[in-house]
Structure 1
Amino acid sequence: MMTRLLQHPRCKDFFRVSPNPMILKFVTLTTKNKNVSSQNTIKILKSLRKRSFYKAIEIVSNMTNVVEKNYILQLLYSAVTYTENNHYANLLKLWVDDVYITKTEDTNRFIHQNKQILTSKYTIIIKIGFEYKDAPLKRESLW
Structure 2
Amino acid sequence: MKKIILGMVLSLAVSIGFAEQPLITSKSPPEKLKSIKAKEEELKESYCMIVLSLAEASIKAKQAGTPIKKSIEVSKQYFSDDDTLNLRIILKELIMDAYSQPDYLSEEYKKRQLNEFTSKHYLNCMSAAGLR
With the shorter chain as reference, the TM-score category is under 0.3
TM-score normalised over the length of structure 2: 0.23
Which has the larger helix fraction?
2
Larger Rg: 2
- The structure carrying a bigger strand percent of its residues is 1
